[in-house]
Structure 1
Amino acid sequence: MAHQYFEDNQDLDHDYKIIDFNWQGQTLHLKTDAGVFSRDNVDFGSRTLLETFLNNTADDFDQLLDLGCGYGAMGLALAIAYPKAQIDMVDVSQRALALAENNAQANQITNTAIFFSDVYSEVKKKDYDHVLSNPPIRAGKEVVHGIISGAKDHLKLGGRLTIVIQKKQGAPSAKKKMAELYGNVTELDRKKGYWILQSYKQD
C-alpha cells in the first residue's frame, strides 16, 4: 500500500533534498523528504494562501495555528512575516514534523512551536487569532470538513479560519460548510482554480 503524506509514515525510506523558497526578500532553505506533501517545491496553493493572507491581514495579532504544516514552508513563512506573533505548527506525520523543526532551526526562526496533532487532537489553545490550513484533500471530505468545523473551538471571538482549496477538489462544498458553521464566508481570492476562503467566529 502506498504511503500518503497525511499519514504518520516513519518507516518509509528517506530521500532528502533541499529546496529554496523566496519569501519577503528572504530565501528559506527547506529540507524535504520522501512521503511529504509537495517535496520538490512549495506548492501553488500554499503560496497563494500565504500571499492572500498577507494582503488581507494586519500585523497586530498574537497567535496563529498552521494546521497540517508539513515540512514547515507555510508556518515558517508566516513566522517571518509576523515576527511578533506566536506561530503554532501541527501535523500528524512525525517525518514532516522533524523536517519542520530542522527547517525552523536552519533558518533561525524562533517564534514557532511545532508539535504532533491529529487534526486538533493535541491543540489545547482556545484563543487563536487565526487558523490556516491547506487541507489534505486526499484524506477525504470528512477530514477537510473536520478541519473547518474544529477550528471554531480554537479561535477566539472574531478569530478567522482561512483555507485554500481547489474548485475541482471541493471548494464549493467547503464554502457552503463554512457559511453554515460560522454564519459567514468570504472568498478572498480565486487563482488558477484555487479558492482562498475565510470565515470569522462571531458566536
Structure 2
Amino acid sequence: MEQYFTAQPTAQHQERTFSFNLRGHLLQLTTDNGVFSKQTVDFGTRTLISAIDFTNLPAGNLLDLGCGYGPIGLTLAKEQPQRQIMMADVNERALELARNNAIENRITNVQIQISDIYQQLQQQTYAAIYTNPPIRAGKAVVSAMITQAKNHLVLEGQLWLVVQKKQGAPTYKKIMQQTFENVQVIKRDKGYYVLKSVKTNN
C-alpha cells in the first residue's frame, strides 16, 4: 500500500477543500489522495498547533518539517508574519497542495521545498522546528528528525514534536532528552504528547 511519505504518489487525484480554524485563523485547505490526513486536520497536528508558545523564541526563521498540505506551517506564518517559514516534505503532491494553500490563504512569508528530512535544506538554521513526524516511516526516520534537528537550530532554538503514547512517545522523549539534555511535556491530550526541547549548547 502506498504511504503518504512516498515521494511521488500515484493514487488517483481526488481533491477536496474544507475550512478549518487554527488558533483563530480560518484557513481554506485543499487536500488530495496520497497525502496524510486528507479528510481533515488530524488531531495530533491540532494538538501541536494549539500548544505552541512563541515565548522565549530566538530570532530567526521557522521550519515545518514534514509539512504535508500545510496546516502547521501556514498557521505559523499567520501567527509570526515577521518571520519566514520554511515548509519541507518528501511528498511532491503534498508540497504542491501546500503551495496552492498558501496562495489561497494569501500567505506570502513561506518557502516550500522538497526535502528528505534535512538533506535538501543544507546547513540552514532555524529558531524552531515543528513536526508531526511520519510515524509509519519507521523509528529510524523519526529518530533522525530529532537527532539531526540540533544541527539545524540556532542557540536557544526549539524542537517541537507531537506523537501518540502508543506510537512511541516515551521512546522519542528519551531520544530528545539524550540529544538536547532537556525535554518538556508541554501538553497531553487523548494519548498525544507535545514534546519540546531547547538547544542550550553547540
Q: TM-score range by the shorter chain?
A: over 0.9
Aligned residue among 116, 126, 129 for 1:128: 126
Q: Scaled by the length of structure 1, what TM-score is found?
A: 0.95
Structure 2: distance between partners of 1:116 and 1:24: 26
Letter in 2 for 1:171: A
Structure 1: distance between partners of 2:117 and 2:58: 26
The CA RMSD over aligned residues, in Å, is 1.4
TM-superposed deviation, 1:59: 6.9
The structure-2 alpha-carbon separation of the partners of 1:201 and 1:60, relative to structure 1 and needing over 3 Å to count, comes to closer
Residues 153-194 of structure 1: CA distance to partner in whole angstroms, max 9, x if unpaired?
100111010100000000000000011111111111111100
Q: Scaled by the length of structure 2, what TM-score is found?
A: 0.95
The structure-2 alpha-carbon separation of the partners of 1:25 and 1:184, relative to structure 1 and needing over 3 Å to count, comes to closer
Of stretches 22-31 and 188-197 in structure 1, the one that deviates more from structure 2 is 22-31
Match of 1:96 in 2: 94
Structure 2: distance between partners of 1:103 and 1:46: 17
Structure 2: distance between partners of 1:50 and 1:43: 11
Structure 1: distance between partners of 2:67 and 2:78: 15
TM-superposed deviation, 1:58: 5.2
SS in 2 for 1:160: strand
Letter in 2 for 1:130: A
Q: Does 1:23 align with 2:22?
A: yes
Letter in 1 for 2:14: D
Indicate if the aligned counterparts of 2:2 and 2:9 stay in contact, CA closer than 8 A. Answer: no
Indicate if the aligned counterparts of 1:185 and 1:197 stay in contact, CA closer than 8 A. Answer: yes
Q: Does 1:50 align with 2:49?
A: yes
Structure 1: distance between partners of 2:55 and 2:161: 14
Match of 2:167 in 1: 169
Letter in 2 for 1:44: F
Match of 1:137 in 2: 135
Match of 1:155 in 2: 153
Percent identity reads 48
Structure 2: distance between partners of 1:95 and 1:30: 14
The structure-2 alpha-carbon separation of the partners of 1:33 and 1:189, relative to structure 1 and needing over 3 Å to count, comes to same
Residues 54-102 of structure 1: CA distance to partner in whole angstroms, max 9, x if unpaired?
4x53577431000000001110011111111111000000000000000
Match of 1:11 in 2: 10
